[in-house]
Amino acid sequence: MKLKFLVLVAAGAVFAAGAVSAQDVDTFVKNKCLICHDVEKKKMGAPFKESSAKYAANANAVAELLPKLKDGKDGHPKVAGSDEELKAALGKALSYK
């Protein structure tokens, strides 16, 4: 229950700041991305804008990052969700410029 509350608080703060659309918040809350990530600020994980810049030239970024989320590789915790949900979250996270 506390985790759900924290995720909702984090999502509300990011949404209120105007950094993430309502649809993006839904995707990120469902996959718990906002616990560790922010659009612009370093939290436990890299900011979405930093990751977006890092992978901007990589057309296969989503496909390469998907196993890291699904299997918990390279320091990222394992994330539950379907491939479609995780691909949507990755696509949104990598869309911030």
Domain range for 30: 2-93
Q: How many CB atoms lie within 10 A of CB 26?
A: 14
8-state DSSP, 21: -
**CATH number of the domain to which 39 belongs:** 1.10.760.10
Q: Identify the segments of the chain with pLDDT beneath 70.
A: 1-25
Q: How many domains does the chain have?
A: 1
Of 31, 97, 87, 34, the C-alpha closest to 60 is: 87
Of 63, 40, 69, 71, the C-alpha closest to 53 is: 40
For the entire predicted model, the pTM comes to: 0.73
- 71-95: pLDDT as tens digits: 999 999 999 888 988 999 999 999 9
Listed as own residue / partner, the contacts of 55-60 with beta carbons closer than 8 Å and 24 or more positions apart are 55/94
CB 66 within 8 A of CB 86: yes
